[in-house]
Structure 1
């Protein structure tokens, strides 16, 4: 079922969202100081491309730097990407088969706003705390 949902997701939302994250990552590579943001953007692009069967968990070793970085991220790229999730979720909600995809799209908004200090892991296993 996950594979089917991922294929439908890829066609109707995933490819466009992944491209948006990759473009944001490339733009964030230009200034040297925003390279960590670009890496986070590329990581989320992979998750946005194929989200079912994976989840995002907090990395407990993330510190104040991640919090400060997340504030900068929201200003630089996060709110644009979150808006992209909202816009692409609306047409998904218009069909019955698209409703779970629309909800999945809305669940990606928190990680699109605050990606630093998070890690993408398989959802098959329970991860109370992720040790990196």
Structure 2
């Protein structure tokens, strides 16, 4: 393992610790609270499951990314097709907008301080996820980068085959 890789891991650990202590815990608990409420309704169990996954991501977001399951697996599932779209619309109305507002307000509070800017940016990313989480999965930054590279290579190959 290279020294640079270890330094990057150390920085992620420090970032995650500071994030958690300086307020990330509250938004993570917000996700989990919505998840518990979704589980209580029985029909909301799929949304509740997503809330717990993203809540855990919200507790320690540095070094991870949310990506589309369709892009990751190259196939549709119930959350990435038409039902996922309907699920995201229902989610947006009932809970997504409120979690997104919480993340945006947290971002504004972070942006007030210079040192909080990376945390504010992370809150804005989480606000975007809060609006439509169905069909997403959480992976490491390295997996997300490899996925983007693979998609870019496929796009280049497709463009070259047209000429």
TM-score (norm 1): 0.93
| CA shift for structure 1 position 112 | 0.6
| CA shift for structure 1 position 13 | 2.4
Segments of structure 1 that go 5 or more residues without pairing to the other structure are: none
Match of 2:139 among 121, 124, 128: 121
Partner of 1:6: 16
Partner of 1:49: 59
| CA shift for structure 1 position 73 | 0.3
1:19 and 2:14 are equivalent in the alignment: no
C-alpha offsets along residues 20-65 of structure 1, whole Å, 9 cap, x if unaligned?
0010000111111111000011111011000000001111122111
Give the Cα–Cα distance (whole angstroms) in 1 for the partners of residues 23 and 121 of structure 2: 12
| CA shift for structure 1 position 8 | 1.0
| CA shift for structure 1 position 11 | 1.2
Give the Cα–Cα distance (whole angstroms) in 2 for the partners of residues 41 and 8 of structure 1: 22
Partner of 1:76: 94
Segments of structure 2 that go 5 or more residues without pairing to the other structure are: 1-10, 71-75, 151-163
What secondary structure sits across from 2:28 in the alignment? helix
TM-score (norm 2): 0.76
C-alpha offsets along residues 58-78 of structure 1, whole Å, 9 cap, x if unaligned?
111221111100000011110
Larger RCO, structures 1/2 (Cα 8 Å, 6+ apart): 1
| Count of equivalent residues | 129
| Aligned residues: CA RMSD | 1.2
Whose helix proportion is higher, 1 or 2?
2
